[in-house]
Amino acid sequence: MMKNDNIDRLLRSAAQAGDESPVEMPFGFDTRVVALWRAAGSKANGVAQLLRRVAVLSAVMIVISTIAAVREANQSREIRESLTNEFAIADSAIQDEFLK
Amino acid sequence: MDDSDPGALVKAALQNDDDAARALVRRLYPLVAKIVRSHRPRRTPEEDLCQMIFIKVFQKLSQFSGNVPLEHWVSRVAVNTCLNQIESERVRPEVRHADLSVEEQAVIEKLATSSEELAPDQQLASRQLVEHLLAALKPVERLAIDLLYLQGRTVEEIRKITGWSAALVKVRAFRARQKMKKQLAEIWAKEK
């Protein structure tokens, strides 16, 4: 059976081995990273700009539709009111005729 | 510009100064590469993972408050990226006796039959054996063992790097050790 002490000894020994290979940045790595970052940034900006345009256009369409609907509703109410008045005038004229 | 001042480099990089951004990469590369070497998943090349980490660092650079050292902040991004990458690969190979080198098998035998410290010429084989055992653990357990025992960091340092609580660091290290112990016992049983 393996004891806890065995794991400790193994880990102590492994820690002493370390990592000997040098850390060297590959040639052109920094330039590549910065270029990719900028490209990703402009791509994200492009998408954000497109979304913003769609949102603004949608808002404009909603406003125009609302104004048109309100205007249409007002016009039909005016027509209905004017017809009601005409009916009332005709009605009172007929009643006057009968009373004569 | 003063390349030794990370705060100034960050500020300049955010103002579209590519020279400052490149200087940041050069400054942080050894740190990131070291973390990647410790926590790299088997199927992702070191350079690709470093690149992935740097892109993430730059994309989140505007969120860097400057309240903590830049190196700590970058370490956390690097560690989390490695853990996510390991998790996405979802490969935890079982350690088989046949996969071990003769030197690694000798280390196991020495551990099982003697209570002496391992010889200096067995350090490399020990390291390879530990890496085999770590590959079969969960990424977070692997990280706990690596930081605590292989890199010799304190619980407080690990807490800063990972964002875990001190208790969680200890629990994860304990569970990882238990699993490693079990794996070693199984290999030794097969070897006998």
Cβ-based contacts under 8 A for chains A and B: 108
Q: What is the pLDDT of residues B19-59, one digit of tens each?
A: 999 999 999 999 999 888 877 766 678 889 999 999 999 99
B179/A contact by beta carbon, under 8 A: no
pLDDT-derived band at A23, boundaries 50, 70, 90: confident
For residue A73, the one-letter residue type is A
CA B13, CA A55: separation in Å to the nearest integer? 31
Of B29, B115, B126, the CB nearest to A10: B126
Specify the residue for token string 């505007």. Answer: B62
Across the interface, whether the CB atoms of B177 and A7 are under 8 A apart is answered yes
H helical segments located in B40-138: 46-59, 70-89, 102-113, 123-135
Are A10 and B117 an interchain contact pair (Cβ–Cβ within 8 Å)?
no
Residues of A in contact with B111 (CB under 8 A): 2, 6, 9-10
Using CB atoms, pick whichever of A10, A33, A37 lies closest to residue B111: A10
State yes or no: pLDDT of A2 exceeds 60. no
What pTM did the predictor assign?
Answer: 0.62
Determine contact, residues B33/B75, Cβ cutoff 8 Å.
no
Residue B53 CB coordination number (10 Å): 24
HSE (CB half, 13 Å, CA atoms) of B129? 33
Q: Cα separation of B35 and B71, whole Å?
A: 12
A60: confidence class by pLDDT, cuts 50, 70, 90: very high
Single-letter amino acid code for the residue at B172: R
Q: Kindly state whether B111 is in contact with chain A, defined as any CB-CB distance less than 8 angstroms.
A: yes
User: How do the pLDDT tens digits run along chain B, 192 residues long?
Assistant: 566 788 888 888 888 899 999 999 999 999 999 888 877 766 678 889 999 999 999 998 888 888 888 998 999 899 889 888 877 776 666 777 777 888 888 888 888 888 888 888 888 899 889 988 888 888 889 889 988 998 889 999 998 888 899 999 999 999 999 999 998 888 888 776
